Amino acid sequence: MKINGSKILIECLKKEGIKHIYGYPGGVVLNIFDHLYDEKSMELTLTRHEQAAVHAADGYARASGKVGVAIVTSGPGATNTVTGIATAYMDSIPLVVFSGQVPTMLIGNDAFQEADIVGITRPCTKHNYLVKDVKDLAKTIREAFHIASTGRPGPVLIDLPKDVTTGMAEFVWPKHVNIRSYNPTYHGNRWMIKQSIQMISKAKKPVIMAGGGVILSGASKELKELAEKAKIPVTMTMMGLGGFPGTHKLSMGMLGMHGTYYANRAIQGSDLIIGIGVRFDDRVTGRTESFAPDAKVIHIDIDPTSIRKNVDVDLPVVGDVRNVLTDLLAEMKKHKEQWGAVRSSWLKQIDRWKKERPLEYRFDKKIIKPEFVVEKIYEVTKGKAIICTEVGQNQMWAAQYYKYDKPRTWLSSGGLGTMGYGFPAAIGAQMACPDETVFDIAGDGSIQMNIQELATAVINKLPVKIAILNNRFLGMVRQWQELFFNERYAHTDLDVTPDFVKLAEAYGAVGLRATTPDEVVPVLKESLKVKDKPVMMDFVVDWKSKVYPMVPAGAAIDEMIFDEEKKKPEKKLRTVK
């Protein structure tokens, strides 16, 4: 029996086990949406912008570990997805995005709402397709999900001309995917793994640097076992937060531009760095020629193109992180070394660094400090919430002052740094994990990028908590202007900001506000009582607050600057353990 392309698409999604889709309709995809209207096995969530649809699918994927799906129309509908696709691409998030396209005979004729989305997204997708024959549709979709979810994950785009979705063909679901040019390496070279153990056994000052690959491969358990058995301290990239318990005694928190003092000092003083599922990006390494000057580097990653891309590597191990760590642990059992004995002085040194400069901020009884808000979110949620963020100061404070003990509880745009990501991602995360508390920690600038998604959250009765650290500025840019541009605040003063409480209420959400430190916890607790709609909390914070420590651009990661008023005795410092 022949069915049309729209029905084939839906049948393919069923085969892939898809339950949630995010999208926005338009002319050339009306037939797809018409079929979805009666489909009971999956739910399409109408967002208020196509960018938000992709971010929501991204948040769903990060929180659930499954492939996120978005469907949009042609032309501007497709081009509006580019920021979301690029965000997912930089952070290796598995997505399949379906875009409508004008009929094949009109492609290239500047037809109404035509855009070459395949050409536009080629640099920011893992792969993309333009389907020209309905007979190829099922095979293409099968391949797309396989590519998105295997190897180093990433977004795949499928462009669907209208005559393909209306054309008729038999539905044939491929049982297997065989792509000759695509064969990821899942198991590390045995010799390399044995060499890794030799290097680890000889190292006196090793550091594990864990990245997002740990989370993507589901290797958190193996990482913890390796660190504990070998007595190696662990620092995480921003994308790696939650891959290793933040409250563990071996945890040094995040490293890099706004990393902890002790993590950066440990990296610079180490004799061996074990990079696991990391990219060694510029925000982590600082000035590359000064990065870990005395350390040898073991780099474990499933993507061979990431190895030696930014830093020199002494021992590359290509393979899935979980598989490689499993083999490493098996190899370790053959050795009788007393791992802790050789590391004791190194661990004591790190403890001294932790005491020397812990994360801390200046507490004020009258003015809300943004760090204080994040600290209290951690306390009232008992560290068990899923935290999404926007980008900027809010993102860094959330990374520093909330402790992530489990993977997939930290959702943030790392590589691209996308303002407007957090709220729609929180919507996707809440749908993926309906029983979990989901927060979006936002700035008053970035929340306005996709604030229209309040309607999406209200209609779907999603109790997402939005904590706005409202400093009336584009805070991170303002911080740079203060420190490096002689306090010339060029176009960072958000002269007019909305009344977020009234705005929330206008959408049918709950709006709350805190203007003093004493009001922070009551507002947070009140938000947790709301179970059937989003809550937008306006925390009016100190506009002068800056994120510390900070590594200036072009500096080595141990050339950090700190709160210039730290040493003033009249200022009370609040230390977060």
- Note the pLDDT tens digit of each residue in 195-237: 999 999 999 999 999 999 999 999 999 999 999 999 999 999 9
In angstroms, the CA 474 to CA 107 distance is 41
Instruction: Please report, for residues 188, 314, 462, the alpha-carbon distance to residue 307 in angstroms, rounded to integers and kept in the order given.
Output: 14, 10, 41
Is the pLDDT confidence value at 239 over 50? Answer: yes
CB atoms within 10 A of CB 559: 14
Residue-level pLDDT at 39:
93
> Tokens representing 440?
């979006």
Is the pLDDT confidence value at 576 over 90? Answer: no
Is the pLDDT confidence value at 573 over 60? Answer: no
Across-strand partners of 99?
A: 72, 159
**Phi, psi dihedral angles at 72 (to 5 degrees):** -140, 170
Within 8 A by CB and 6+ apart from 311, the residues are 280, 285, 288, 291, 292, 297
pLDDT confidence band for 335 (50 / 70 / 90): confident
pLDDT confidence band for 496 (50 / 70 / 90): confident
In angstroms, the CA 309 to CA 312 distance is 8
Instruction: Compute CA 185 distance to the chain's CA centroid, rounded to the nearest angstrom.
Output: 24
Residue-level pLDDT at 366:
95
Long-range CB contact pairs, 475-484, < 8 A, 24+: 475/392, 475/393, 475/394, 475/443, 475/445, 475/543, 475/545, 476/391, 476/392, 476/393, 476/396, 476/547, 477/392, 479/393, 479/546, 479/547, 479/550, 482/546, 483/546, 483/550, 483/552, 483/561, 484/552
Helix axes 321-332, 220-230, angle to 10 degrees: 30
Going by C-alpha positions, the residue among 451, 398, 437, 419 that lies closest to residue 576 is: 398
Is the pLDDT confidence value at 43 over 80? Answer: yes
Within 8 A by CB and 6+ apart from 433, the residues are 63, 64, 386
3-state secondary structure of 511: strand
3-state secondary structure of 358: coil
E-strand stretches of 202-266: 206-210, 234-236, 251-254
Residue type, 44: L
- For 137, half-sphere exposure in the C-beta direction (CA atoms, 13 angstrom radius) is 28
**DSSP β-ladder status, 155-161 and 168-170:** unpaired
**DSSP β-ladder status, 360-362 and 386-389:** unpaired
Q: Is pTM, for the whole model, over 0.75?
A: yes
Domain 190-356 carries which CATH code?
A: 3.40.50.1220
3-state secondary structure of 159: strand
CA angle 234, 573, 236 (to 5 degrees): 15
**Phi, psi dihedral angles at 14 (to 5 degrees):** -65, -45
> Hey, what CATH topology would domain 2-170 get?
Rossmann fold (3.40.50)
Residue-level pLDDT at 555:
95
Could you tell me the residue ranges of all domains in the chain? 2-170, 190-356, 360-548
> Hey, what CATH topology would domain 360-548 get?
Rossmann fold (3.40.50)
Residue type, 272: L
Residue-level pLDDT at 571:
44
Is the pLDDT confidence value at 324 over 60? Answer: yes
The mean pLDDT value for 519-525 works out to 98
Is the pLDDT confidence value at 572 over 70? Answer: no
10 Å CB burial of residue 435 (0-12, 13-18, 19+) is: exposed
> Tokens representing 179?
């792509």
- Note the pLDDT tens digit of each residue in 405-449: 999 999 999 999 999 999 999 999 999 999 999 999 999 999 999
Domain 2-170 matches domain 360-548 at the CATH topology level = yes
Map tokens 């392309």 to a residue: 5
Q: Quick check: 379 and 432 in contact, CB under 8 A?
A: no
- The mean-pLDDT minimum among 222-231, 324-333, 528-537, 557-566 falls in 557-566
In angstroms, the CA 460 to CA 456 distance is 6
Catalytic (active-site) positions: 50, 112-113, 162, 476
Residue-level pLDDT at 342:
80
Is the pLDDT confidence value at 337 over 60? Answer: yes
Across-strand partners of 254?
A: 236
The mean pLDDT value for 226-254 works out to 97
pLDDT confidence band for 495 (50 / 70 / 90): confident
Burial call 269-280: b when 16+ CB within 10 Å, e when fewer: bbbbbbbbbbbb
CB atoms within 10 A of CB 256: 24
CA angle 110, 115, 116 (to 5 degrees): 110
